[in-house]
Every structure is written in structure tokens, then in C-alpha cells.
Amino acid sequence: MPEFDRKILVLFAHPGLENSRCNQALKEAVCEMSGVTFHDLYAVYPDFAINVKAEQTLLTDHDAVIFQFPFYWYSTPAILKEWQDLVLEHGWAYGQEGNQLQGKLFGVVTTSGGGPEAYQRGGYNHYTMNELLHPLERTAILCGMRWLLPFAVQHALTIEDHELVEAAKHYRRYLEAIRDDTLDLNALPESGLINTFA
């Protein structure tokens, strides 16, 4: 077994995987990677009956947590919300005694229909991706995790095949950098998308 600097847990959520193009491609790029545990929440808990203990053990066993999901209604698909509500228990993930996630990295990998021109002031969606992801950012920080800028594949509805292949490669390299600790965390800017830096 090769040793890695960080073990990565990808919490994947796509409720209609049979209709997915982008997330399917991204998933295929990383799900077999060594050092990465790819955890498909909708497949494991089709009835939403999340096993809290098992999820917490998974978290303890990893050093970085990635949410991968299609951007739906400016947020995550439902099961990721359910997961946060149930798994990030008071006294475990946060609160005076809750320090189990302290120091882990937390990143978001998402695909959105809109592009950069839509996600800005005056654009179709008025706010930037970073701003819309504030709830997740605060959640990560409250749990003592290091928040990473979002990795977003945009124009997901119209993206060309070769662009998608390129994005998938990027995603893989991004996870490798986290795993092997080659990403210079101190050099990351305050805003923007991580794909442009990784």
C-alpha cells in the first residue's frame, strides 16, 4: 500500500445519474484513484437513511473532504444537505468538544449550467459562485476545516466533449495535488475558482 500525504474522501451526490454527462465524466476520472475514497451518497442511501456513525468513521479516516455535485438551485442536491444535518453533530464536528474535523481540507467540485459571465454582478445570477457557496464555506470553517476555493465546471449544459475531457483531467490533477500535498495552500488567492490555479 502506497503511503499518501492526504487521504481524500469524495462525497458524491447526483440524484439522476442516468441523465448525467458532466458529473459522470468527472466521476470516472477520479473514482478509481488510489488514495481516494469515492462515496456515492444516493447509491448508498437511496432511502436517505444515512448511517451517521459510518459516515463519521469515514470522515475520521480521511484528511480531505470533497463534495462533488451538480449545482442545483444555487445549492447542493438534497442528500448533501441531509448529510450535513445528520453527520456534522454537535459535540463531534463543532461545539466545545467537537473537534473531530479540525485541520482537514474541505473542497467543493461542482458543475453549473451558467458560466462565469452569469456568475457576477450584473450577470444572470448576480452573485459569484464563491458568494453562493457561503453556507458551505461557513459550515467548513465552523468545523475547523480549511476551506478551498470551488472547482467548477461551467457551461455544463453546452460544454463540448473535448472541453469536458480536459476538465476531467484537471479534476484528477487537482485531487492528486491535494493527495500528494503539492498544492501551495498559502499561495491561493481569496476568490475565484480553483481550476484556474490548480
Partner 1 sequence: MLDLTSVLPLAIANADPDDGFLLHATVYLAAAVLAVPFAKRLGLGSVLGYIIAGVVIGPYVLGLVGAEGQSVMHAAEFGVVMMLFVVGLELRPAMLWRLRGPILGLGGAQVICTVLIIAGITMALGMSWQGGLAIGMCLSLSSTAIVLQSLNEKGLTRSRGGQASFSVLLFQDIAVIPMLAIMPFLAMVPEDDAAKALHTPHWQKAVLIIGVVAGIVLAGRYLTRPIFRYIAATQIREMFTAIALLLVIGVALLTQSVGLSPALGTFLAGVVLAESEFRHELEGNIEPFKGLLLGVFFIAVGATIDFPFLLKHPLGIAGIVIGLVVIKFVILFILGKVFHIGRDQNWLFSFALAQGGEFAFVLFSFAGTVDVLPIEVTTPLTLAVALSMMMTPLLLIIHERIVAPLMQNADAERHADDIDEENPIIIAGFGSFGNIIGRFLQANNIGTTVLDTDPEHIETLRKIGLKVYYGDASRIDLLHAAGADKARMLIVAVDEKEKANQIVSVAKKHFPNLIVYARALDYEHGANLFEYRADKWRHQNVGSALELGVDVLSYLGWSPFRAWRASRRFSRHEDETFKKLLKFREDDKAFFDKARQSREEIEKIFMADAEFKENPDHAWDNTSLKEEVSSQQEEQA
Ligand X SMILES: Cc1cc2nc3c(=O)[nH]c(=O)nc-3n(C[C@H](O)[C@H](O)[C@H](O)COP(=O)(O)O)c2cc1C
* Cβ 42 to ligand X shortest distance, Å: 12
95 binding partner 1? (CB under 8 A): no
String of contacts with ligand X for each residue 16-45, x by CB under 6 A: ----xxxx----------------------
Cell numbers 461545539 label which residue? 95
Looking at the Cβ atoms of 143 and 152, the one nearer to ligand X is 152
Return the one option of ligand X, partner 1, none that residue 197 interacts with (CB less than 5 to 8 A, by type): none
Task: Work out the number of other CB atoms within 10 angstroms of the CB of residue 154.
Answer: 23
Helix (H) or strand (E) holding 69: strand 64-70
Contact 134, 76 (CB under 8 A): no
47 binding partner 1? (CB under 8 A): yes
Contact 160, 180 (CB under 8 A): no
DSSP at 194: G
Return the one option of ligand X, partner 1, none that residue 43 interacts with (CB less than 5 to 8 A, by type): partner 1
Stretch that binds partner 1, among 31-39, 69-77, 98-106, 125-133 (CB under 8 A): 69-77
Helix (H) or strand (E) holding 9: strand 8-12
Contact 143, 137 (CB under 8 A): no
* Cβ 114 to partner 1 shortest distance, Å: 9
Residues lying near partner 1 in the complex (CB under 8 A): 14-19, 42-44, 46-47, 70, 72, 77, 113, 157-158
